[in-house]
Amino acid sequence: MSPEAPTPPPPHRHLSRRSLLRTGTAAAIGLGLGTAATGCGFTSAGVAAQEADDEPIEMKIDGDLVYFNWADFVDPAVFAGFEKEYGVKVVQSNFDSMEGMVAKLNAGNRYDIVFPTAKWAQRLVQGHRLRRIDRTRLRNADAVFGAYDYFSDPWYDPGSEHTLPFTMYKTGIGWRKDKIGDSLSGSWEDLWSSRVKGRVFVLDDRDEVLGLAALKLGLAVSTSDPGDLGDITDTLRSLRPNLRGFSSDSYNNLLTGNAVMTQAWSGDMAAMLNQAKDPSVFGFEVAKEGAPINSDCYAIPSDAPHPGTAMMFIDYMLRPENARRNIEYIGYPMPVAGTEDTYAALVEPFPMCVVGADELRDELYFRNSDAGGERARDAAWTRVKAG
The neighbour count for residue 368, using CB atoms within 10 Å, is 20
Rounded Cα–Cα distance for residues 205 and 354 (Å)? 22
Among 129, 121, 152, CA closest to 296:
121
Q: Which residues pair with 297 in a beta bridge?
A: 165
Whether residue 277 contacts residue 178, with contact meaning beta carbons closer than 8 Å, is answered with: no
State the CB neighbour count (10 A cutoff) for residue 3. 20
Domain boundary pick from 268, 292, 316 = 292
User: Within a domain: residue 19?
Assistant: no
Q: Are residues 185 and 231 in the same domain?
A: yes
- Shared domain for 150 and 50, answered yes or no, is yes
Residues 161 and 200 in one domain: no
The number of residues in the chain equals: 387
Specify if 15 maps to a domain. Answer: no
Residue 236, domain member (yes or no): yes
Report CA dihedral (163, 100, 237, 228) to the nearest 10 degrees.
-40
**Does 5 fall in a domain?**
no
| Pairing state between β 282-285 and 163-176 | antiparallel
> Is 81 among the domain residues?
yes
Please count the structural domains in the chain: 2
| CATH code of 152's domain | 3.40.190.10
Could you tell me the residue range of the domain that residue 352 belongs to?
A: 25-168+293-364
Q: Give yes or no: residues 30 and 164 share one domain.
A: yes
Residues 324 and 200 both lie in one domain:
no
The number of angstroms, rounded, from the C-alpha of 237 to the middle of its chain's C-alpha atoms is: 26
Residue 287 in any domain: the answer is yes
Domain check: are 105 and 233 in the same one?
no
Burial per residue of 167-184, b for 16 or more beta-carbon CB atoms within 10 angstroms, e otherwise: bbbbbbbbbbeeebeeeb
386 domain residue, yes or no: no
Same-domain check for residues 73 and 150: yes
For strands 113-114 and 65-70, give the pairing.
parallel
> Within 13 A of 372's CA, how many CA atoms are on the CB side?
2
Please report whether residue 310 resides in a domain.
Answer: yes
Question: How deeply is 100 buried, as exposed, middle or buried, from its count of CB atoms within 10 A (0-12, 13-18, 19+)?
Answer: middle
Same domain, 153 and 176: no
Same domain, 245 and 256: yes
Residues 56 and 164 in one domain: yes
Q: Are residues 72 and 217 in the same domain?
A: no
**Three-state secondary structure along 103-153?**
HHHHCCCCCCEECCEHHHHHHHHHCCCECCCCHHHCCCCHHHHCCCHHHHC
178 & 73 share domain: no
CA–CA distance, 276 with 257 (Å, rounded to integer): 12
Sign of the four-CA dihedral 244, 248, 250, 256: negative
- Per-residue pLDDT of 274-315, as tens digits, reads 888 899 999 999 999 999 999 999 999 999 999 999 999 999
pTM, to two decimals? 0.87
Question: Of 259, 292, 325, which residue constitutes the final position of a domain?
Answer: 292
The pLDDT of residue 89:
98
pLDDT tens-place values along the chain, 387 residues long:
434 433 333 333 434 445 444 333 333 323 333 333 333 455 555 555 555 567 889 999 999 999 999 999 999 999 999 999 999 999 999 998 899 999 999 999 999 999 999 999 999 999 999 999 999 999 999 999 999 999 999 999 999 999 999 999 999 999 999 999 998 999 999 999 999 999 999 999 999 999 999 999 999 999 999 999 999 999 999 999 999 999 988 888 999 999 999 999 999 999 888 888 899 999 999 999 999 999 999 999 999 999 999 999 999 999 999 999 999 999 999 999 999 999 999 999 999 999 999 999 999 999 999 999 999 999 999 999 998
